[in-house]
Chains A and B, each alone.
Chain A
Amino acid sequence: MRATLWISASAGAVLLGLALSIPIAAQTEKPTIFTTTDFRQDRALWTDSAYYRNNTPGQLRGMAINVEGRRTGQELSARPYGSQGTGRADAPSLKSPYPYTNAWEHYQVLLKQANGGTKHTKQTLPDWSGHWSGGAQFGGGAPASSIAAMLTPKYRETFVQEMKAATEGRIWSANSICLPGGYFDAVSAEEFVVTLGRVYSMGSGNGSFTARWIFTDGTPHSPKDKEFVKWHGESIGFWNNDELIVHTNQIHGWKGGPSEFSDQLETVERYRLVGDRLEGEITLYDPEVYISPINARLRFQRDKETAYEDRMQFNTCTDTNGPSPNVYMDAKGLLNERVAGDPLYWEPADTRPWVTYLNESDKRYKASGLKPTARTGTPIKK
């Protein structure tokens, strides 16, 4: 009797447990960016690192290649689709530590601290000659959730959409279709030419060339009626002994840095030579895109010796990619120009072409029925 009761009770408990546990498990298993059927329904999870399986943005983009352990080129950062990431919970915070609400206020405080700036002579200017590699480091290995958390709702949604598309091999980048890289490409300079009254910085990308002119002669920004957005903005600066402080405004909104940015972006940069490193920081103010100002470390390393093939050079992306389709030879052999509505017309007024791409890509990808899965090929040891 006792045995019968025990068996009945046990069976009942098992059945009850099954009845309870299966639905509970199904209900409590939260979707991830890899399992969701509609990422827009997961807004509450977008700032949770578990939603991205703790992957960094770079690791999520690496899944576009969807292999493991390969040794060359983009395979170095490739990862199998859906794999667990290594986002660091202790990564530097993106949130600016400064109390300023805008870049100009920030810049003015630094200018005041420098008593109006140091007046250098040719003999006292810092020596920043040589070839450098580096740039801004946003978040330093933080999971994608830490970037999402810094974005206002409209841009957070695009960020998550972009991350999801990237894991599925659907990636938009400006340089890939010969559009300008934008402001943050120019921040990653390779050479700095320091002169009295002007600092020039240059970079030679594989498909583009960047240049900035930083006015340190005490002249202000262009007056309001002369302002317009420029790909690398307009920069003025001053020296505080050996430290260069730069304010940049009139920046063309685009993609880059931690996410994308609007025409409202203004920045404050600080650079100082420490041995063979240029070190400093950049603070980003863009209330349209960031929920609060963002701060990141700037770090450049000077080459001990520059190989011939690493010398600066001028490149143009269209060299092997072809020209713009908007100006062309028509069927009569005449020079002609495509206009809105024409086949092959490129829409210059589309200020966020990556959103246009992502929305169309989402539709086509869904219609195609493709499903991403981790590749099963044998990893090649590095």
Chain B
Amino acid sequence: MTAVKQLAFTGFLAAALTLTSSSTAWSHHSHAMFDHDKEVTITGTVSQWIFRNPHVFLYVEAKAETGDTLTYTVEMSNITNMLKVGFTATTFKTGDQVTVTMHPLIDGRPGGNYIVATAGDGKQFGRI
């Protein structure tokens, strides 16, 4: 690898990490970063409901085991798949209660890949 390409690649990775921290995830990516042997359920308050492609995102303020309140980033599927299991653009608004089960990020940061959810009114949403 040339020096320029090495630098460029470092830049690329850094860019990817930057994007990851600000917008949470890449689209069409492998789900290898999630632990598919674990399921974590959180109950908390919706802080954002982003109903957009390529991935829908649900942000939930919830208490971690440490007692700290964390913002969990729940990565979901694309809009088409979400509509098929009953989610809509207005399913959640800021302040709603929600319980979400997800495969957590392997590295332990507060986030994961959506499995199922129950809205505050009791409506249940199934697997994609």
- Residue positions of A touching B, CB distance < 8 A: 61, 64-67, 70-75, 78, 166, 169-171, 173, 175-178, 205-207, 307-310, 313, 315-317, 319-322, 325, 338, 340-347, 350, 353, 356-357, 359-360, 375, 377
Contacts and interface: CB of A to CB of B under 8 A. Distances in A.
A340 B4 CA distance: 7
Query: Chain A interface secondary structure, helix, strand, loop or mixed?
Result: loop
Contacts, number: 148
Interface of B: 1, 4-5, 7-16, 18-19, 22-33, 36-37, 50, 52-55, 57, 77-80, 83-84, 113, 115, 127-128
Contact of B23 (A307, A321, A342, A357): A321
Given A72-B115, A74-B31, A345-B11, A322 B22 contact: yes
A350 B127 CA distance: 39
Given A343-B10, A345-B11, A321 B19 contact: yes
A80 to B, nearest CB: 11
19 contacts: A61-B30, A72-B127, A74-B31, A170-B32, A173-B29, A176-B28, A206-B54, A206-B80, A307-B84, A309-B80, A321-B23, A321-B25, A321-B27, A342-B11, A345-B11, A347-B5, A347-B11, A347-B12, A356-B1
A319 B1 contact: no
Contacts of B84: 307, 309
Contact of A346 (B15, B32, B37): B15
Contacts of A319: 52-54
Contacts of A206: 27-28, 53-54, 78, 80
A320 B29 CA distance: 13
A346 B12 contact: yes
Nearest to B13: A360
Given A173-B29, A173-B30, A176-B28, A325 B4 contact: no
A65 B128 contact: no
